[in-house]
A and B are shown apart, each in its own frame.
Chain A
Amino acid sequence: MPRLLLLLPTTTYRTAAFVDAARRIGADLTVASEQPSALEAANPAGLLTLDFQHPDRAADQAHDFARRSPIDAVVGVDDDTAVVAATVAERLRLKGNSVHAAEGARDKHRQRELLAEHGVAAPRFALHLLDEDPNEIARSVVYPCVLKPLRLSASRGVIRADDPAAFVAAHARLKAILGPCDAAFLVEDFVPGYEVALEGLLVNRRLHVLAIFDKPDPLDGPFFEETIYVTPSRAPAGLQKTIAECAERATRALGLVEGPVHAELRYNERGPWLIELAARPIGGRCSAVLRFGEGVTLEELILRHALGMPIPSLVREKAAAGVMMIPIPGAGVLREVRGVAEAKAVPLVEDVQITAHPGERLVPFPEGSRYPGFIFARGETPSAVEAALRESHRRLTFTLDAA
């Protein structure tokens, strides 16, 4: 059986989905994390610790491991491990993206430079140091603008500013969010428009669009907490085609050639704009809404592609499907969630997963980014799915205590 090295950060939601997929396709699985598993000593071929903070060192460690247990493919599941996977793949001469391309996708400034060099429509941007005088920057930018960290994900720390006073306030907030390792941030134009997410799989440089999700709730700021994703998109077919072309141009600009792609785009009267592109699959537990062919999961597609196994189908099922990342209900300590059974009872709702646990501190955007749970629905039309998600969410009550 082929051996798969799966890079799973200890904080990912995707563990079960990827481990299940590896099992279904019959791969010998080695799970690598940045911290040791409690049982690593008991299964040294199946559990490995890699230094995800230092990809070159992780590649050395993987190289040593591969001498004992040869590896046929390496897969990362998030932004950081996509870079580690590329580094390991280069070292072991496995299929994957170049380190240069993976790093370009990971670093938002580098990504924008590459998009601009290749003429991909994307917001105008400028890089600023955190130590610069925010009042001075505020005088030089065009409003509305968006302040954006270089490496955080899930829209954490992303803040819109409409005038100099808002810019200075946003800068102070962002500075407090970023750690001592972050020296810079981006300021980019706010692009008005309707936002969509594109899920794709690159196979030998060709982007196969697996799904385009509508994001029906406006993402106009000042913070950018995501809520509902629904697929198929209700955008006209011609527009979807231009969205896909924009995403494919972005993958070429970054030099990505293989594996999953998740892109956020906006469109307005001037066409589609590439907002973000990552060399990883959709985040959180959202991939559960995607099924291909006879019920194949997104994770199974990704692993089959990595291992060079036949892929039964890249065509998503006909039904509409959607997920709601449950909005963070406020700041405080979660005491209880009521109405879960009622939320699940909504027709078309398949599941309601509360992932926050009692006693957990909930932190709203932009400082926080951990959603308290997910709602999944499937139905005949995107509108029906969206309505079901909203009704299900309406039935949930979160009780918080002061932090």
Chain B
Amino acid sequence: MSSAEIRITAEPVDNHRCKFVVSQPLHAAGVRRFASAAEAKGSPLAEAIFAIPAGGVTEVIVSGNIVTVVKDNPAPWQAVGKGVGAAIRAAAASGAPAVAAKAAPAAGAPASIDDDTLYERVARLFDDQVNPMVARHGGRVELIDVQDAVVMLRMGGGCQGCGMADVTLRQGIEGMLAQHIPEVRGIVDITDHTSGANPYFQASKK
């Protein structure tokens, strides 16, 4: 697929966070999160996004066909979004991996936060509490990864595209994580909500 044929849909979450849904996968092997330009070294897509002039990018998360970009400046997504789009097209056209595989921690290396342990605890919370509850609305919440104590999740079924997905995420899941696993530092929803074919609650105009 040439870069011209790649379709990218931007879904701003707010003025600081935007998901870019790409028509082809960029990183099939799980999730990579980059919290700085230094961390992005060796991953061409993330490097290019951090290098967007005056972009103020602070975080890049790549999972499958979704690139989530976080920035700290108040500028609208228009200018930064075009740079992200160009970076995605360039990475896809190059044929090289857009992001490098996650390096295994060195043996015996100290870790301030043990993501593997957190992953297990979050997964258990999702299995035991979150998913049985959202299943009543035909939904499910999938834990994708935990990186640097940030939980990456994807919503499916009735939650995908649901008008109240933000409420479920922020008033529900976030609160449960804060209560049960306070070490979690944040949540990133990497769901492509525009593709939700059967949302439990459907938004309408007024």
Chain A residues within 8 Å of B, Cβ to Cβ: 8, 10-13, 15-16, 19-20, 23, 29, 31, 33, 35, 37-43, 46-47, 78-79, 153-154, 283-284, 294-295, 297, 325, 340-341, 344, 348-355, 357-359, 369-371, 378
Contacts and interface: CB of A to CB of B under 8 A. Distances in A.
A78 B166 CA distance: 18
Interface string B125-146: 0000110011011010000000
Contact of B163 (A13, A38, A41, A42): A13
Given A38-B134, A42-B129, A351-B12, A16 B166 contact: yes
Q: Which residue, A13, A357, A370, has most C-beta atoms of chain B within 10 A?
A: A357
B74 A295 contact: yes
B74 A11 contact: no
A168 B11 CA distance: 45
Given A10-B201, A153-B205, A351 B10 contact: yes
Contacts of B206: 78-79, 153-154, 283-284, 369
Interface string B166-206: 11101111011000000000000000001111010111111
B170 A19 contact: yes
B172 A37 contact: yes
B77 A351 contact: yes
Contact of B139 (A38, A40, A371): A38
A222 to B, nearest CB: 19
Interface string B9-24: 1111111000000000
Given A20-B14, A358-B197, A349 B78 contact: yes
A185 B201 CA distance: 29
A295 B74 CA distance: 7
B184 to A, nearest CB: 15
Interface in B85-143: 85, 129-130, 133-134, 136-137, 139
Contacts of B139: 38
A94 B16 CA distance: 33
A39 B166 contact: no
A16 B13 contact: yes
Contact of B205 (A16, A325, A348, A359): A325
Q: Which residue, B139, B176, B202, B204, has most C-beta atoms of chain A within 10 A?
A: B204
Interface in B55-83: 74, 76-78, 81
16 contacts: A15-B167, A29-B171, A37-B164, A38-B168, A39-B130, A39-B134, A39-B173, A42-B130, A42-B133, A42-B176, A79-B206, A153-B205, A284-B206, A341-B7, A358-B195, A370-B204
B161 interface: yes
Contacts of A344: 9-10, 81
B8 interface: yes
A42 B175 contact: yes
A341 B8 contact: yes
A369 B204 CA distance: 8
B205 A19 contact: no
Nearest to B78: A350
A68 B9 CA distance: 44
B168 A283 contact: no
B77 A350 contact: yes
Given A33-B164, A39-B133, A357 B196 contact: yes
B67 to A, nearest CB: 14
A357 B164 contact: no
Contacts of B167: 8, 15, 19, 31, 33, 37, 47
Given A13-B204, A42-B133, 9 more contacts: A12-B203, A16-B14, A19-B166, A42-B175, A42-B176, A43-B176, A283-B205, A340-B7, A359-B197
A160 B94 CA distance: 57
Contacts of A46: 171-172, 175
Nearest to B171: A46
A8 B194 contact: no
A206 B139 CA distance: 45
A289 to B, nearest CB: 10
Contact of B172 (A13, A23, A43, A283): A43
Contacts of B78: 348-351, 378
A244 B102 CA distance: 58
